[in-house]
Amino acid sequence: MEFNHGQEHVDDGMVIVQANLDDMNPEHVPYVTDRLLEAGANDVYWIPIIMKKGRPGLMLNVLVEEERLGQMEAIVFAETSTLGLRYMRASCHRLGRVMEKVETPWGPITVKAGYYQGRRVQFAPEFRECEQTARRHGVPLKEVYEEVRRAYSAEGGRR
């Protein structure tokens, strides 16, 4: 197994940026998401909402470090149709993270484990590697995913 640590920590300097969009072509949504993530957003997600006059809109949400707020605003104003945005301060609690490799019939696949106060509470196969394996070997994705989880549990992981 290989290791790749990330320490558990709390980050108090985060902001959540929000914009309500009722006149944007929804086709643009994945592109806007990618642009924000490439520019350093920690997370980007969209919430279906109902706006005034009964319009079904979308609320863009960007979680980002406060010092990158300006860069996010520039992208939101350039790439969406909004005339305004809002933001709130937030704190993030992130688990310690360890990447490990497990052996499978189709070769090694990475598992990401999460540690809370020194104890492993999460583990998940790296999705993209499972997807590539499923395509390359012509097996159902859920079978690859399941086998990685089984193999990781059997090895006992790095407790």
- Rounded to a whole number of angstroms, the CA Rg of the chain reads 20
Q: How far is CA 55 from the centre of its chain?
A: 28
103 to 142, contacts with its own copies by CB under 8 A?
112, 114, 116, 121-122, 124, 127, 131, 134, 140-142
Task: Out of 1, 65, 66, 92, point to the residue binding its own copies (CB under 8 A).
Answer: 92
158, 16, 15: which is closest to 96 by C-alpha? 158
- Residue 77 CB, nearest approach to its own copies (Å): 4
4 to 63, contacts with its own copies by CB under 8 A?
14, 16, 20, 22-33, 37, 43-59, 61, 63
Q: Give the length of the chain.
A: 159
Lookup: tokens for 88:
């709130």
- Residue 142 CB, nearest approach to its own copies (Å): 6
- Residue 107 CB, nearest approach to its own copies (Å): 19
- Cβ proximity to its own copies: between 2 and 146 the closer is 146
76, 113, 71: which is closest to 96 by C-alpha? 113
- Residue type for 13, please? G
- Cβ proximity to its own copies: between 100 and 147 the closer is 147
- Residue 111 CB, nearest approach to its own copies (Å): 12
- Residue for token pair 């914009």: 19
